[in-house]
Structure 1
Amino acid sequence: MSRRIIITGASDGIGAAAARQLVRDGHNVILVGRSPEKTKAVAEETGAPHHLADFARLDEVRRLADELKQYGPIDVLANNAGGVFQERRETVDGFEMTFQVNHLAPFLLTHLLLDRLMESNASVIQTSSVGNRAGKVDLGNLGFAKGYAPMRAYGTAKLENILFTQELHRRFHERGLSSAAFHPGVVASSFAGSSTDLMGKVYASRLARSFMRTNEQGADQLVWLASTPAGEGWESGQYYEKRKPARRINRQTRDAALARALWARSEQVLGLTPAA
Structure 2
Amino acid sequence: MSDATTKTIVITGASAGVGAAAARRLAAEGAKVVVVGRDPRRTNEVADAIGADRHIADFAKLSDVHALADELNKLDRIDVLANNAGGIFAERLITEDGFERSFQVNHLAGFLLTRLVQPKLIASGASVIQTSSMAHYRGHIDLADLQLEKGWSPWKAYADGKLMNVLFTRGLHKRHVLDGIYAAAFHPGVVASNFGSTAGGVTKWFYASALGKRVMISPEQGADTLVWLAQRTPPRDWASGEFYDKRAVRRPNKQALDAGLVDAFWTRSVRLIEG
TM bin, normalised by shorter chain, reads over 0.9
Identify the match of residue 94 of structure 2 among 74, 90, 94: 90
The percentage of counterpart residues that share the same residue type is 51
Task: Give how far 1:195 is off.
Answer: 2.4
- What is aligned with 2:8? 4
Task: Give how far 1:118 is off.
Answer: 0.1
Q: Confirm or deny: 8 A CA contact 1:195 1:201 kept in the other structure.
A: no
- What is aligned with 1:270? 273
One-letter amino acid matched to 1:76: V
Computed over aligned residues only, the root mean square deviation of the Cα atoms, in angstroms, reads: 1.0
Task: Give how far 1:228 is off.
Answer: 0.6
- What is aligned with 2:253? 250
- The gaps in structure 1 that reach 5 residues or longer are none
One-letter amino acid matched to 2:241: G
Instruction: Name the SS of the counterpart of 1:193 in structure 2.
Output: helix
Normalising by structure 1, what TM-score? Answer: 0.96
| Paired residues, number | 271
Q: Confirm or deny: 8 A CA contact 2:62 2:109 kept in the other structure.
A: yes
- The aligned runs of 1:1-276 (5 Å cut-off) are 1=3, 2-247=6-251, 249-271=252-274
**Higher helix proportion:** 2
Instruction: Name the SS of the counterpart of 1:30 in structure 2.
Output: strand
Report the Cα distance in structure 1 between the residues aligned to 2:260 and 2:76, rounded to whole angstroms. Answer: 34
Normalising by structure 2, what TM-score? Answer: 0.96
One-letter amino acid matched to 1:263: W
Residue by residue over 1:194-219, the C-alpha shift from the partner in whole angstroms, topping out at 9 and shown as x without a partner, is 32223222212211221111000000
- The gaps in structure 2 that reach 5 residues or longer are none
One-letter amino acid matched to 2:33: V
Q: Confirm or deny: 8 A CA contact 2:154 2:199 kept in the other structure.
A: no
Residue by residue over 1:127-185, the C-alpha shift from the partner in whole angstroms, topping out at 9 and shown as x without a partner, is 00000011111111111111101101100000000000001000011221100000000
Q: Confirm or deny: 8 A CA contact 1:169 1:178 kept in the other structure.
A: yes
Report the Cα distance in structure 1 between the residues aligned to 2:151 and 2:246, rounded to whole angstroms. Answer: 32
One-letter amino acid matched to 2:263: R
One-letter amino acid matched to 1:213: I
Q: Confirm or deny: 8 A CA contact 1:187 1:212 kept in the other structure.
A: yes
Report the Cα distance in structure 1 between the residues aligned to 2:91 and 2:198, rounded to whole angstroms. Answer: 11
